[in-house]
């Protein structure tokens, strides 16, 4: 049977304590706009098949077949390559939840059968060891769980569990879920108080076990998730400081690299590997909601404030230190050397959504939107089959990553990107009893239940190119409800909820206008939302007009790379100048703050984008750079 589709992230049920705000699940939202719908279609028809194919041609599938003794040979590749298979299955599952695709469904079942065959009888599922336990992959450790900080065993199984939960929710089938339950039972038997006390080097298992708890209601998964968080930063943890001679895993000796230097409730500064961090912050937020634990809640709020004050790019990119894929020093945000891994943007988006659902605060959705339209979307080409791992804010067109790649040796980003694109419908609306949050302006239809009554909310807009949004309410009978209409940070004159970035003064009108059935509404914006409470009649229409002037953005003086420079933003979209539009180069370009910049929609350029032009400059959306070959690119331009 299908479990009730519900709250956080994509779906789930509501236990006694949980997020007070639930996401309207992806099965209740149909995106039908001209910006995201074609991208979601491309994700289904190009990106996911491309990743499936890459996983086959790069031995990632073979590793499962070898572990199942269906094929001879050694394990190939990195010890975390199993996750590329799992994340692509998760992406495909979300797609199957909303689109009938018989071929994809069959392909997914074939892959699940291969994964299941690689599982050992007691539930252990980690092909880097199972292929040849006498000669496990480098970093995997000589025995099960022996190199927990480098092995990625629990990371691999975490992604497997997340994928299995998604597949079960999408299809109602148990073929993958049963594999996940078997592995999770083993993990819960091995780890815990009075058992093995240690933590994984790469967080992921924590949030995965919370998801498994939500579909099974088996509390041991939730308690094991909390155990892994509670154990972090404890001194009794075994230090796996010595690895194979000449090992490449030096950074694992630094406990802050894996956020294991302090108990999680005492971590107030974001440190270490950015993807690990965002996955862990997501799990901490889950636990804060499910256990109503304010210490966990306070910790993630402090970490969010730290990140948005000192460690986030204007694109939403996280992690500025390339050597260790990590958060950098205060205000260390280099543009050309920006790491800003696509996965860190994705981890951030999934975390910000949880933070919103716990607090209802708009700042989390503002940063989510900023990340979605910039640092996340830059990760994939317009063709859907080329990817950035790093997302620098400047390029000389030569130094890597000067262009997107078909795949990677470490290929975490492509499938991660695909699974986020596939679950996008669950990020548009949210609900708290009879209060409906419109968080993202994306043309769509949402099928809701308010006070036991079905209600359909239809949104029509050309966002992010235009701030005109029409929201139509349809219900069989009049329904009393509150529409919480988000006024985005960029429209409130706030580039960032901190002083890290600010808009340069402008004389342009930025005040929005709201009408109900054609008449002005004197809605008061509080905490980033205008709340309209009334008894809604069939056909009621709310129109929001958000002026979208071209804005110049300035960074805090402490950010060395941005000093004397400004960036361009319009609506939620950050702009970049590319050599191809600017006489072959962008170095040496200067744009005084007084330069008049105008915006024009060009349907023939880059799949249809709004272009910004001024004297001697043409700028395109940052996310669309490098779709016309290599060349110089810059986002922060001297003024
Ligand atoms: Zn990645």
The string of pLDDT tens digits covering residues 344-389 is 999 999 999 999 999 999 999 999 999 999 999 999 999 999 999 9
Q: Give me the pLDDT at residue 11, please.
A: 38
Judged by DSSP in three states, 199 sits in coil
CA of 417 to the centre of ligand 1 (A): 9
CA of 621 to the centre of ligand 1 (A): 22
pLDDT tops 90 at residue 537: yes
Q: Give me the pLDDT at residue 250, please.
A: 61
CA of 416 to the centre of ligand 1 (A): 7
CA of 159 to the centre of ligand 1 (A): 13
CA of 15 to the centre of ligand 1 (A): 32
DSSP string covering 534-547, please?
EEEPTTEEEEEE--
CA of 554 to the centre of ligand 1 (A): 29
CA of 64 to the centre of ligand 1 (A): 21
Judged by DSSP in three states, 453 sits in strand
Q: Facing residues of 536 across strands?
A: 479
CA of 410 to the centre of ligand 1 (A): 8
CA of 208 to the centre of ligand 1 (A): 18
CA of 412 to the centre of ligand 1 (A): 4
CA of 390 to the centre of ligand 1 (A): 8
pLDDT tops 60 at residue 571: yes
**Residue 117 and residue 416: Cα distance in Å, rounded?**
24
Which of 223-232, 252-261, 546-555 is predicted least confidently?
252-261
What is the per-residue pLDDT across 130-166, written as a single tens digit (0 to 9) for each?
Answer: 999 999 999 899 999 988 888 999 999 999 999 999 9
Q: Give me the pLDDT at residue 254, please.
A: 79
pLDDT tops 50 at residue 14: no
pLDDT tops 50 at residue 10: no
Q: According to the 3-state scheme, what is the secondary structure of 420-475?
A: HHHCHHHHCEEEECCEEEECCCCCEEEEEEECCEEEEEEEEECCCCCCEEEEEEEE
CA of 526 to the centre of ligand 1 (A): 37
* Residues less than 5 Å from ion ligand 1, measured at CB: 341, 343, 412-413
CA of 426 to the centre of ligand 1 (A): 22
Q: Give me the pLDDT at residue 5, please.
A: 38
Under the banding of pLDDT at 50, 70 and 90, the label for residue 234 is confident
Q: Give me the pLDDT at residue 595, please.
A: 96
Q: With 0-12 CB in 10 A as exposed, 13-18 as middle and 19+ as buried, what is 250?
A: exposed
CA of 382 to the centre of ligand 1 (A): 19
CA of 334 to the centre of ligand 1 (A): 19
CA of 57 to the centre of ligand 1 (A): 19
Question: What are the structure tokens assigned to 296, written together?
Answer: 């966990």
CA of 294 to the centre of ligand 1 (A): 31
CA of 594 to the centre of ligand 1 (A): 39
CA of 413 to the centre of ligand 1 (A): 4
Q: Give me the pLDDT at residue 42, please.
A: 98
Q: Give me the pLDDT at residue 251, please.
A: 64
CA of 343 to the centre of ligand 1 (A): 4
Topology of the domain covering 430-486+511-545: Maltose phosphorylase, domain 3 (2.60.420)
CA of 302 to the centre of ligand 1 (A): 25
CA of 348 to the centre of ligand 1 (A): 12
Q: Give me the pLDDT at residue 235, please.
A: 66
CA of 566 to the centre of ligand 1 (A): 28
CA of 344 to the centre of ligand 1 (A): 7
CA of 597 to the centre of ligand 1 (A): 35
**Residue 278 and residue 343: Cα distance in Å, rounded?**
9
Question: What are the structure tokens assigned to 367, written together?
Answer: 């940063």
CA of 91 to the centre of ligand 1 (A): 15
Q: With 0-12 CB in 10 A as exposed, 13-18 as middle and 19+ as buried, what is 607?
A: middle
What is the per-residue pLDDT across 83-104, written as a single tens digit (0 to 9) for each?
Answer: 999 999 999 999 999 999 999 9
Q: How many helices and strands in the chain, by DSSP H and E?
A: 16, 23
Q: Give me the pLDDT at residue 140, please.
A: 92
Q: Give me the pLDDT at residue 637, please.
A: 98
CA of 347 to the centre of ligand 1 (A): 10
Under the banding of pLDDT at 50, 70 and 90, the label for residue 483 is very high
CA of 411 to the centre of ligand 1 (A): 7
pLDDT tops 80 at residue 591: yes
Q: CA dist 575 to 188, 545, 618, Å?
A: 48, 22, 10
CA of 421 to the centre of ligand 1 (A): 15
CA of 298 to the centre of ligand 1 (A): 28
CA of 548 to the centre of ligand 1 (A): 32
Whether 199 and 230 have beta carbons less than 8 Å apart is answered as no
Under the banding of pLDDT at 50, 70 and 90, the label for residue 565 is very high
Q: Give me the pLDDT at residue 4, please.
A: 38
CA of 77 to the centre of ligand 1 (A): 16
- Compute the 3-state secondary structure of the chain and give helix, strand, coil in percent, each to the nearest 5: 35, 20, 45
DSSP 240: -
pLDDT tops 50 at residue 6: no
CA of 414 to the centre of ligand 1 (A): 7
- 252 against 627, higher pLDDT: 627
pLDDT tops 90 at residue 545: yes
**Residue 325 and residue 333: Cα distance in Å, rounded?**
13
CA angle 286, 270, 438 (to 5 degrees): 50
Q: Give me the pLDDT at residue 510, please.
A: 78
Percent share of the chain, pLDDT over 90 = 88
pLDDT, average across residues 63-77: 97
CA of 483 to the centre of ligand 1 (A): 36
Q: Give me the pLDDT at residue 3, please.
A: 37
Q: Facing residues of 388 across strands?
A: none
CA of 579 to the centre of ligand 1 (A): 27
pLDDT, average across residues 611-628: 97
Write down the domain spans for the chain: 58-243, 430-486+511-545, 550-638
**What are the two backbone dihedrals, phi and then psi, of residue 441, each rounded to the nearest 5 degrees?**
-90, 95
Under the banding of pLDDT at 50, 70 and 90, the label for residue 497 is very high
């Amino acid at each position: 049977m299908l479990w009730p589709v519900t709250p956080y992230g994509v779906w789930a049920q509501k236990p006694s304590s949980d997020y007070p705000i639930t996401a309207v699940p992806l099965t209740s939202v149909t995106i039908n706009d001209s910006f995201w719908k074609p991208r979601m279609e491309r994700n289904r028809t190009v990106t996911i098949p491309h990743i499936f194919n890459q996983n086959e041609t790069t031995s990632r599938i073979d590793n499962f077949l070898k572990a199942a003794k269906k094929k001879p040979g050694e394990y190939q590749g990195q010890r975390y390559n199993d996750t590329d298979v799992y994340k692509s299955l998760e992406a495909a599952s979300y797609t199957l939840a909303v689109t009938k695709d018989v071929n994809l469904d069959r392909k997914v079942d074939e892959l699940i059968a291969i994964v299941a065959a690689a599982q050992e009888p007691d539930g252990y599922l980690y092909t880097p060891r199972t292929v040849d336990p006498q000669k496990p992959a480098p970093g995997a450790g000589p025995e099960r769980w022996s190199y927990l900080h480098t092995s990625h065993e629990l990371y691999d199984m975490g992604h497997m569990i997340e994928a299995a939960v998604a597949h079960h929710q999408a299809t109602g089938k148990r073929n993958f879920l049963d594999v996940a339950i078997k592995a999770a039972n083993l993990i819960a038997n091995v780890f815990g108080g009075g058992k093995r006390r240690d933590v994984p080097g790469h967080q992921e298992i924590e949030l995965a076990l919370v998801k498994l708890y939500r579909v099974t209601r088996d509390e041991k998964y939730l308690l094991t998730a909390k155990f892994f968080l509670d154990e972090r930063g404890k001194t009794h943890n075994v230090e796996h400081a010595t690895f194979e001679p000449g090992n490449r895993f030096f950074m694992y000796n630094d406990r802050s690299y894996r956020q294991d230097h302090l108990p999680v409730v005492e971590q107030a500064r974001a440190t270490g590997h950015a993807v690990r961090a965002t996955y862990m912050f997501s799990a901490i937020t889950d636990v804060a909601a499910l256990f109503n634990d304010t210490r966990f809640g306070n910790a993630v709020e402090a970490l969010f404030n730290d990140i948005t004050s000192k460690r986030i790019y204007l694109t939403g990119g996280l992690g500025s230190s390339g050597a260790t894929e990590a958060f950098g020093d205060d205000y260390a945000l280099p543009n050309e050397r920006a790491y800003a891994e696509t996965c860190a943007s994705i981890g951030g988006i999934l975390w910000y959504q949880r933070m919103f659902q716990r607090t209802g605060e708009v700042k989390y959705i503002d940063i989510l939107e900023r990340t979605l339209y910039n640092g996340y979307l830059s990760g994939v080409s317009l063709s859907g089959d080329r990817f950035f791992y790093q997302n620098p804010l400047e390029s000389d067109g030569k130094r890597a990553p000067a262009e997107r790649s078909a795949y990677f040796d470490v290929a975490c980003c492509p499938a991660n990107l695909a699974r986020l694109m596939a679950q996008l419908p669950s990020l548009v609306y949210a609900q708290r009893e009879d209060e409906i949050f419109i968080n993202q302006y994306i043309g769509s239809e949402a099928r809701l239940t308010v006070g036991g009554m079905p209600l359909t909310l239809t949104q029509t807009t050309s966002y992010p190119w235009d701030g005109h949004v029409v929201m139509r309410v349809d219900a069989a009978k009049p329904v009393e409800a509150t529409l919480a209409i988000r006024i985005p940070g960029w429209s409130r004159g706030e580039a960032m909820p901190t002083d890290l970035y600010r808009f340069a003064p402008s004389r342009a009108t930025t005040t929005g206008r709201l009408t109900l059935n054609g008449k002005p509404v004197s809605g008061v914006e509080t905490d980033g939302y205008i709340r309209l409470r009334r008894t809604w009649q069939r056909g009621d229409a709310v129109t929001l007009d958000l002026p979208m002037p071209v804005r110049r953005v300035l960074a805090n003086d402490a950010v060395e790379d941005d000093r004397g420079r400004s960036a361009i933003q319009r609506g939620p979209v950050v702009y970049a100048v590319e050599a191809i539009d600017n006489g072959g180069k962008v170095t040496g370009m200067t744009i005084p703050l007084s330069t008049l910049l105008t915006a024009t929609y060009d349907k023939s350029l880059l799949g249809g984008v709004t272009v910004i032009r001024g004297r001697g400059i043409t700028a395109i959306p940052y996310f669309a750079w490098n779709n016309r070959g290599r060349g110089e690119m810059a986002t922060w331009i001297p003024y």
